[in-house]
Amino acid sequence: MAREPAIVVEGLVKRYGRFTALDGVSFSVERGSIYGFIGPNGAGKTTALRILATLMLPTEGRAWVAGADLLGSPRDVRRHIGYMPDFFGVYDDLTVWEYLEFYAQANGLPRDRWRRTIADLLELVDLGAKRGDYVEALSRGMKQRLGLARCLVHDPDVLLLDEPASGLDPRARVELREVLRELPRMGKTVLISSHILPELADVSTQVGILHGGRMVASGSVDEIQVQLGTSRVLEVRVLGDAENAARVLEGLPGVGGVDVAEGLVRASFTGGLDGQAAALRALVEAGIEVVSFNAAGGLEELFMALTEEETGE
Ligand code: ATP
């Protein structure tokens, strides 16, 4: 029982009148992982998260969150989740500390645990220095981190976060990502949505790409890229003659147009992890001194390929 996935979704359908917002969505999320739920506007992310948060019933399908049946035991589900909606209001005239106290009380946390819990949460989201500031006066990034702290007050197992990074500047996104990375270490499972794949690719163990109410791909970003054959950029920095490294790479499977600039060899690459390992081995066996080796990027291309295919654009 203990190792069953934290979230299991089977054939979820949601119709708003005659419009089908979710069309048979299935996926599962392992405990202690971060699952990136990606899709363009209107894909159905908010609908799916609201259903999992027990705020709305599905038209068809079933789901289990932290082992509890969404339809049969919604109260149990609620005890185990922290839900952060895409828009949430904050109360005027409350300080950061008072705001979290309010939620501690609302969640029935015993009063003698408020102080420790709130202090720990503020440290986690790096708002300790702002404890006496009015919530209204916080930057958007700080408000989002406070929203995350608020979801954690009752120590839920599963966090459902709807586009928490939307509207944040790059620095605030990085700060939020740092907090997110802490959550699996605390044993939490995170389902987080975004319409930007690169934003979640780094932080997620797995991603699911939703488009037009259907899951068009699911797995690790690497697996999806290999499945679809979309290309990434292989970047190799070498000591000595980079042209020589380029010649070795040129003949290998999955390697396309190779360029050399200032000791850096760049090639388009469609292989998987085994292909990367083979390329690195070929370079080393050719006596080339490799300083760094990395396959990256291609995420926008991947996202476009997946979300255009379905509409036939
Ligand atoms: P966004 O990134 O824009 O928030 P999303 O992926 O979260 O998009 P949803 O908000 O789940 O998408 O909406 C999915 C589709 O369902 C959209 O086409 C939306 O217009 C429609 N929809 C959502 N809520 C309702 C509703 N209450 N009544 C009718 N249609 C709705």
- Token pair, residue 39, equals 């899709």
- Residue 46 CA, ligand 1 centroid: distance in Å: 7
Name which of 9-13, 54-58, 155-159, 309-313 the model is least confident about.
Answer: 309-313
Report the 10 Å Cβ neighbour count for 2: 5
Q: With bands split at pLDDT 50, 70 and 90, how would you rate the model's confidence at 312? A: very low
Ligand 1 site, CB within 6 A: 16, 19, 21, 39, 41-47, 86, 195
Give the residue whose CA is nearest to atom 18 of ligand 1.
42
Of 46, 86, 160, the one to substitute when testing ligand 1's pocket (max ligand atoms within 8 A of C-beta) is: 46
**Distance (Å, whole) CA 148 – CA 85:** 10
Of 41, 55, 87, the one to substitute when testing ligand 1's pocket (max ligand atoms within 8 A of C-beta) is: 41
- pLDDT for 50: 97
Residue type, 114: W
Q: With bands split at pLDDT 50, 70 and 90, how would you rate the model's confidence at 88? A: low
Residue type, 304: M
Could you tell me which residues come within 8 angstroms of residue 110 by beta carbon, excluding any fewer than 6 positions away?
none
- Residue 100 CA, ligand 1 centroid: distance in Å: 30
- Token pair, residue 228, equals 């679809």
pTM of the model: 0.84
What percentage of the chain has pLDDT greater than the value 70? 96
Handedness of CA 33, 74, 194, 217 (dihedral sign): positive
Name which of 62-76, 208-222, 247-261, 297-311 the model is least confident about.
Answer: 297-311
Q: With bands split at pLDDT 50, 70 and 90, how would you rate the model's confidence at 311? A: very low
At residue 8, does pLDDT exceed 90? yes
Of 12, 14, 15, 19, the one to substitute when testing ligand 1's pocket (max ligand atoms within 8 A of C-beta) is: 19
Mark 134-163 as b/e (b = at least 16 C-beta within 10 Å).
Answer: bbeebeebbbbbbbbbbbbbbebbbbbbbb
Q: Are 6 and 158 in contact (CB under 8 A)?
A: yes
- Residue 80 CA, ligand 1 centroid: distance in Å: 25
- pLDDT for 177: 92
